[in-house]
Structure 1
Amino acid sequence: MRRQNRYNYQMAVEGSNKINNFYGLDAWKVSHSLVLETYKATETFPTKETYSLIDQMRRASSSITANIAEGFGRFYYKDKQRFYFQARGSVIELQNFFILGKDLGYIKSDDFENLFALSERSTMLINGLIRSIEKKK
């Protein structure tokens, strides 16, 4: 008999009406895609950027999903709000690095457009999270 995974990540990602975990949030799902795309984009950067721009971009991107997850796990409104604001700030920081990467010739125009659009979607969904907790205050 197959043991059921109580952390059913796949079910949450594929769809369920009730959100019981951070990975069921649309903001987390889109932001997770942004993290993965950021990691892919930075794979082609020059090695001289390994401990500077690559590291900064990867840290900023993973900070987005980490803050969404931590905010989801918090009980009090102000705690949730603080982490969601931090996640939004990390998206803006990452957008700055996308512009820098493009201007330095590390990110192609098409890739930049896709990354930036994904980051805008992430920001919009995080703003929705912030609004949703403000209604429940």
Structure 2
Amino acid sequence: MATIRNFRDLVAWQKGMKLARAVYRASETMPKTELFGLRIQMRRSAVSVPSNIAEGYGRQSRSDYLRHLRIARGSLAELATQYELAADMRMIDEDPELTLLLAEEDRILQALIRSLEKTPAQAHPKADDIVVG
């Protein structure tokens, strides 16, 4: 397992950043009527995922890290719902890469949360990042 020096080394954060970039690209073509509606909601949800991973890690507390990972997972579920709605209403083209990123990030966050829940409370999060491939 690679050494985790900061939040940028976390696989969950890296995948979250990739997801956020994909959402920004995919939402570019949404109708102008959605500029301050579903488009901005999707982008905010997407940015929330890696942001909460970074914030939780940066607090250097297992309980804060876990709480922020759960918030990130909630934002991910929110984004998946918004993406599905936008695709169903033909506001956005379905993107297989984006669909895959949503599923991968959910799996990574779920595994990371489970791993941290099993770890003794005094453990620092650096030792608990896992690679889910």
TM-score by length of 2: 0.84
SS of 2:45's equivalent in the other structure is helix
Q: What's the counterpart of residue 53 of structure 1? A: 38
Give deviations 1:15-37, integer Å, cap 9, x for gaps: x9201111111111111110000
Unaligned 5+ segments in structure 2 are: 121-133
Query: Comparing 17-26 with 33-42, which one deviates more in the overlay?
Result: 17-26
In the alignment, which residue of structure 1 is the partner of 2:101? 118
- Paired with 1:106 and 1:20, the residues of 2 have a C-alpha distance of 40
- The reply to whether residue 31 of structure 1 matches residue 13 of structure 2 is no
Aligned residues: 120
Q: Return 5+ residue gaps in structure 1 as ranges.
A: 1-15
SS in 2 for 1:51: coil
- How much is the aligned-residue C-alpha RMSD, in angstroms? 1.4
Q: Percent identity?
A: 38
Cα distance in 2, alignment partners of residues 75 and 136 from structure 1: 15
1:78 pairs, out of 63, 68, 79, with 63
Highest RCO, 1 vs 2 (Cα 8 Å, sep ≥ 6): 2
Distance between the aligned counterparts of 1:32 and 1:108, measured in 2?
A: 20
Shift of 1:104: 1.1
Deviation sequence 1:72-112 (CA, Å, 0-9, x none): 11232221111000000011000001111101112223x1x
Match of 2:116 in 1: 133
Instruction: Tell me the TM-score normalised to structure 1 length.
Output: 0.82
1: CA distance between counterparts of 2:58 and 2:116?
A: 13
Structure 1 stretches of 4+ with a deviation exceeding 6 A read: none
More helix by share: 1
